[in-house]
Structure 1
Amino acid sequence: MGRRGAAWLVAAAAISFAAGVARADPVVTPIEEGIRQQSCDALAASTVGVPQDTSADQSTGVLGALPVAPRGLLPPQIYLRTKRDTFNRRYFFATRGGSIYVQQRTGTDHRWHALILPPCFAGRVSSISVDDDEMIALDGSRRIFTMDNALKDASLFNWTSRWGTPFWTGFGYSLPSGIIAWSWSVVSPSEDGNWTDPARNLHAIGSGKVSHIWALRTGGRRLSFWDPWLPLDESYQMCGPYRGRFRAVNLSASGSTIFVIGPRGDLFTRVYDFDLSGHDRFFFHYSYANQRGKGSSAPIQLPPAAWVHQPKVPGRITSVISIHKVGRNVVHRIIRVAGLDRAGHTGYWQKDIVSLRAGSWRFHRTGLPLRGRLIGNPRRDTPRRGLGRAADIRFAGRVSGARVEVLNFNTYCSPARLRVHPRGGRAFVLVLHNVDGLRQQTRSSGLDDVPREQYGDIEVPRRLLHRAFVKRVLGGRRYSDVTLEVTRGRLQIQELGWTLQRVRRRSGGHHR
C-alpha cells in the first residue's frame, strides 16, 4: 500500500521511541508491577508494521517444544472464527483462561500448545482474532496487543503494544466499551496480491498491508474500524446495510470483507477498507467516472462496493458467523454460519460470497456442541423489519444564483441528493458523494462544532448536463471533485464557495 510502503523506514526508526505505558489490570506486588511494566515497555520493539519478509521462515521445531494444552480443554480443530477461536491458513489459535494456544493445521503434530506470552498481558487475554500474518489479542481492559508472523514458524512470533499514528508507532490503544463483536482484517501483497475494485480493475496492495479492527457497536447499527496507522479515536466508521438502519447482531471480518447477520438470519457482506474505499487521496488516485476496462493504471473506482445481500441459509442457525479469505485479488471469501442440519446434527453452513444462488449453501457436520443459541430464520428475506431511524440531515442555502438543498446528508452513508432550484427554472437533483479523508489528529465521531473535512464529488446525471446551472457552476462536467467541511450546523463546499445551513426538523417531522 502506498502510504504504508513509503513510510515503513520512518516507522522502523520511530519504533524505539514508542511503548505502551498503561497497565490494563492491577497487580499484586511492586515486583510483579515492575516486571510487567518492563515487559510492556519492551513490546515497543517488534516487526509489527514493517514490510512483510516472506523469505524469513524456517522450521525450528519450537512449536512442538511449547507446553501441551490440558487434555479436553480445546476442540480437535477450529471451524468458526470467533472471539475465542480463530485461524489463518497455517494455524488454529484459541484463548482459554487468559492464555493463548496454537495448533498446526498441517503436519503430524495435532496437539494444542500454549504460547509463552509477555508478562505484560500473560494470563489476561480475553479475546483474539487472527487474519493473514497478524493476530490481535485484547486483555480485560480491551487493550490491543498485536502478534506478527502468524503465518511463519513459531520461533518468529513476536508481540507489540504499539498502535496509532505515526505509522503504527503510537503508544497503544484500548478499544472503547459498547462493542457487541469485533474482528481483525488484513490484506497483504503476499496473500492477496491485489484489490479488485468495483470496475473489476486490479490494484496492487503495498508492502505495508492494510489492517483494521472492525467492531459492531451497541444497538447493532454502527460499524467502527480502527487502523493502526490512524489517530486513536472512534471517528472512522462504515455505513451499514440500508444506509445504517439495519440492526445486526454479530460481525466477522477477513481480508477487507465484512460479514454481518441480523436477528432473523439476514446476511450481508461488503468489501471495504481505508485505502480501497476512497479515504486516502494522499497516496491513491480515485475516480467516480467509469473506469471499467482501463486496467491497473486507472484510478481506483468509486463509490466503493455496496453491501451484498446473501441468500438465506436453508436451515436452523445461530447468530455465530465466520468469514475467512481464500484465493487472490480480494474476490473469494468463505462464509460460515453455525447451525443444524435437518437431522439435528451440529455443524455449520458454508458458501463462497460470490455464489448468490439460494442453493449454494452446504452443511458440514462437526459433531461438536452447537455454537450460540438458535435464532429465528424465516425462509423469506426480512432485512427491512425493525430498521432504525435514518440519521440523515438536511442543509440548504441560496448560492450561485439558486436555492440548493442537500436533502439527506449522512456522515458515513454516501451519497446524498443535492437538489437545485434555479431562478425561473425547474428544480433538478444531482448526486453528492462524500467520504472521510485521511486525518492524523484525533476527533469525535459524527458531527460537532469542529469542521469535519471530507472528500466529495458532485455527480451530474447525463440528462442534466445541458442545464445552464451545470454549465455555469460545474463547467458542464459529469464529475467534480470537491472538499466538504461539515459541522452539526453547516456544510461548506470549498471549491464552489458554498455555505449551506442545517435545516432542523420540527416536532411534527417537517423541516424549517
Structure 2
Amino acid sequence: MLAPGAAPGAGPSGPSGSGPAGCVPVGTAQLSPGPPPNPSHLGIDAFAVAPNQDALPARVDLRTATTSFSRFWEFALVDRVLFTRPHGSAEPWRTVPLPGCLVGRLVGISVDDDELTAIDDNGWLYTMDNAAHPPILWNWTSSFGAPLWMDRGQRMPGGHGDWALSVHAPQVQRTYTDTAGHQQFVGSAKCTMVTVLVGDGSRIVYLDPWLPNDYSYEIGSPLGGRFQAESMSTAASVTFVMNRYGDMYTRLFDFDISGADTVFFKYSWQDQSGKLPPADQFAAALDPRVARIQLPAPEWVQQPKVPGTITSTISIHATGAPGSDARELRVEGVDAHGRTGFWHKMLADDAWAFTPTGAALTGDPVENSPQDRSLDTLAPPAPYDYTVPLPDRGAARGYRLEVAEFAWATSERTATVIAPDGTRFPVELHTVDGMRMTPRGPGLDSVPRAMSGAIGLTQDLWDTRDAQSPAVRTFADAWLGGQRRAPIDLTVTDTTMAITRSEGPGLLAGLPGS
C-alpha cells in the first residue's frame, strides 16, 4: 500500500533523508484561519501552460494521491510535475511553480479547503497555503508540528498506504453535530490533519501540525480497532474507509472533536441534550446553561453497499455547505451498461447514484459482495489485558475494573467491574488520548500514555439500576455519583493501567452543569 513513487523511509530521522528540502521556507504566509475563500483567478496567467494537455486528466472527480480538488481549483501530479486549473473547467492545465529543490521530487498530493499537502520522494510533507484563494497568494512551507505549526517538518510513516489531507474550516463547515444533537462550532483556527493508513490496514495514524511530529496519534478503526481497510480518504474531519469486500464506514473525528483539546474547548460526559445550544465556540465557558461538547464523540457509521462494480479508489470531499453531513462520498466503478465513472452519495443518504465519465479506471477491482463481510477482514485482537483497582468513592470501596483486549486507539469498549463481594457487571469504558507537546512512540510501550475518559453503566443496566444487586446500586449511586457516566484519568503502558477519578475534561470542569 505504498504511495506511488514513494521511498519506504524509516521515520523523521531515517536513512532516506534527515530533513525536508532545504529551500522550502519554514513558516507560512497564512494567518489561520485566513481570509474567507476567494474564487479569483488572479495570478494564474503567470503559470506556464502545460505543453502536453492530452497527457493530463480530462476531468478530476476523485481525490487520490495524484489528483485532487477543492471548490475552486483542481490539481494533477503527472511525472512528478504539479499542474492546476479551475475546478470543473475546460481551461488548459498550467504548471504550478515549485521551490527549486522540490522540482521533479513530488510523488503525492492531497487538497482540502485552502491547503495542498505534498510529499517528496523521501516522504517529507510540504504545505501549499491559500489553495482556496487566488494563485498569486499560493506559497509553500515545510513547517509542521508543535508548537503551533512551527516545527521544522514531518515525514510520512514508512510503508504507508492511502493518505489524505483534512481541513475542517470555521469559515466553510462552521459547525458539526455532537452526540447530543447540538451544533458545535469548529475551532476558530481550523483543524488540520493528515490521515495515513499504515500496517495491515487496521491502523489510521493522523499527523496534526499543532501536535508533536511523531506517529503516536491514531483514529481507532471500526469494529474495536480490528477492521482492516484497503482504502481510505478523509475530508473536513470525516474519514472514509473500505475493506477488500466493499464494506465501508465513515467517522466524524479529529483531535478537537475527540475530547482531547481541553485548552480551547469545553466537553462533558454528562447529558447535554436539554441545554441551550451554543452561540459560538466560547459560549459554554462561563454559562452553565449552554451545552458543552457532548462526549463520547461520534462513532463509526457503516455505509450502505454500492449496488454495482467498484474499484479500490474511494474519495470524500466537503461540498462547501455548513454542518458535518455536507460531505460527498465517491467510489470509482462501472455501471450496469459497462460505463466507467463513479458511484456517489451524500454522507447521510441511503442510496448511491452513478455518474459516467468514460475515464480509465485507476483502482484495483474489488470483490463487492452484496452481503456484509466486515468481519472477514479483522486484525488480531489487541494483546493487552488488565485488572486494576478503581479509586474509592464514598460507599463504593474496593471495586476493580477488568479490561480485556484493550485497543488503546479505540474510543469505547465494554469492560467488567468486579465488586468486593465478587459481583461482576458490564460497564462502558470510554477513552480519549491526551494532549502532548513532546514526541512519543506509537502504540503502547513502557512509557506511560496519559489519557482521559469515562466509566459508565451500559444503557440497559442504567435503566434498570434500581432493580439490580446492592453492589450495582452502590456503584451507580456512590461511584458514578448518580450519573450514567463518571469521568476518569488513566495512564497505560503495555503491562500496566492506573485509573483515577477525574472531575471531568476541560479547564472549567468544576463549574455547575459540567
Q: Same fold (TM over 0.5)?
A: yes
Answer yes or no: is 1:92 the counterpart of 2:74. Answer: yes
* Aligned-partner Cα distance in 2 for 1:57–1:378: 42
Residue correspondence of structure 1 range 487-502 to structure 2 within 5 A: 487-495=493-501
Residue correspondence of structure 1 range 194-233 to structure 2 within 5 A: 194-233=175-214
Residue 368 of structure 1 deviates from its aligned partner by 1.4
Residue 24 of structure 1 deviates from its aligned partner by 7.0
What secondary structure, in the 3-state scheme, does the structure 1 residue paired with 2:256 have?
coil
* Aligned-partner Cα distance in 2 for 1:318–1:249: 11
Amino acid at match of 1:166: P
What does residue 6 of structure 2 align with?
none
Answer yes or no: is 1:44 the counterpart of 2:37. Answer: no
What secondary structure, in the 3-state scheme, does the structure 2 residue paired with 1:195 have?
strand
Answer yes or no: is 1:407 the counterpart of 2:404. Answer: yes
Amino acid at match of 2:492: V
Residue correspondence of structure 1 range 48-447 to structure 2 within 5 A: 48=30, 50-54=32-36, 59-60=41-42, 62-69=43-50, 70-105=52-87, 110-294=91-275, 295-296=277-278, 297-326=290-319, 327-356=321-350, 360-391=351-382, 393-397=384-388, 400-424=397-421, 426-447=423-444
What does residue 5 of structure 1 align with?
none
* Aligned-partner Cα distance in 2 for 1:82–1:313: 19
Tell me: CA distance 1:488–1:218, structure 2 relative to 1, closer, same or farther (3 Å): closer
* Aligned-partner Cα distance in 1 for 2:402–2:477: 19
Amino acid at match of 1:493: I
Tell me: CA distance 1:323–1:56, structure 2 relative to 1, closer, same or farther (3 Å): closer
What secondary structure, in the 3-state scheme, does the structure 2 residue paired with 1:53 have?
coil
Amino acid at match of 1:361: W
Residue correspondence of structure 1 range 440-479 to structure 2 within 5 A: 440-461=437-458, 462=462, 463-464=464-465, 467-479=473-485
Residue 56 of structure 1 deviates from its aligned partner by 7.6
Spell out, residue by residue over 1:403-422, the C-alpha distance to the aligned partner (whole angstroms, 9 max, x if none).
Answer: 43223432111323342332
Q: Percent identity?
A: 36
Q: How large is the RMSD of aligned CA atoms in angstroms?
A: 2.4
Amino acid at match of 1:347: G
Amino acid at match of 1:344: G
Tell me: CA distance 1:407–1:90, structure 2 relative to 1, closer, same or farther (3 Å): same
Mapped contact 1:48–1:160 kept (Cα < 8 A): no
* Aligned-partner Cα distance in 2 for 1:267–1:421: 37
* Aligned-partner Cα distance in 1 for 2:387–2:211: 33
Tell me: CA distance 1:397–1:292, structure 2 relative to 1, closer, same or farther (3 Å): closer
Tell me: CA distance 1:24–1:93, structure 2 relative to 1, closer, same or farther (3 Å): farther
* Aligned-partner Cα distance in 2 for 1:381–1:45: 47
Mapped contact 1:288–1:301 kept (Cα < 8 A): yes
Mapped contact 1:48–1:159 kept (Cα < 8 A): no
What does residue 17 of structure 1 align with?
none
Tell me: CA distance 1:110–1:149, structure 2 relative to 1, closer, same or farther (3 Å): same
* Aligned-partner Cα distance in 1 for 2:431–2:95: 47
Spell out, residue by residue over 1:430-477, the C-alpha distance to the aligned partner (whole angstroms, 9 max, x if none).
Answer: 222111011111111111111110012121352347622444444344
* Aligned-partner Cα distance in 1 for 2:370–2:428: 36
* Aligned-partner Cα distance in 1 for 2:361–2:387: 53
Amino acid at match of 1:306: E
Structure 2 runs not aligned, ≥5 long:
1-11, 279-289, 391-396, 467-471, 503-514
Spell out, residue by residue over 1:264-297, the C-alpha distance to the aligned partner (whole angstroms, 9 max, x if none).
Answer: 1111111111101111122211122232253123
Tell me: CA distance 1:21–1:436, structure 2 relative to 1, closer, same or farther (3 Å): closer
* Aligned-partner Cα distance in 2 for 1:235–1:183: 17
Residue 352 of structure 1 deviates from its aligned partner by 1.0
* Aligned-partner Cα distance in 2 for 1:56–1:368: 30
Answer yes or no: is 1:481 the counterpart of 2:481. Answer: no
What secondary structure, in the 3-state scheme, does the structure 2 residue paired with 1:120 have?
helix
Residue 373 of structure 1 deviates from its aligned partner by 2.5
Residue 21 of structure 1 deviates from its aligned partner by 12
What secondary structure, in the 3-state scheme, does the structure 1 residue paired with 2:501 have?
helix
What does residue 29 of structure 1 align with?
none
* Aligned-partner Cα distance in 1 for 2:433–2:115: 26
Residue 58 of structure 1 deviates from its aligned partner by 5.1
Tell me: CA distance 1:468–1:393, structure 2 relative to 1, closer, same or farther (3 Å): same
Spell out, residue by residue over 1:203-260, the C-alpha distance to the aligned partner (whole angstroms, 9 max, x if none).
Answer: 2223310011001112111011000000011100011111121111111111111111
* Aligned-partner Cα distance in 2 for 1:448–1:266: 32
Larger deviation, residues 273-282 vs 468-477: 468-477
Structure 1 runs not aligned, ≥5 long:
1-19, 27-32, 497-512
* Aligned-partner Cα distance in 2 for 1:490–1:80: 44
Tell me: CA distance 1:323–1:427, structure 2 relative to 1, closer, same or farther (3 Å): same
Mapped contact 2:381–2:405 kept (Cα < 8 A): no
What is the TM-score normalised by the length of structure 1? 0.85
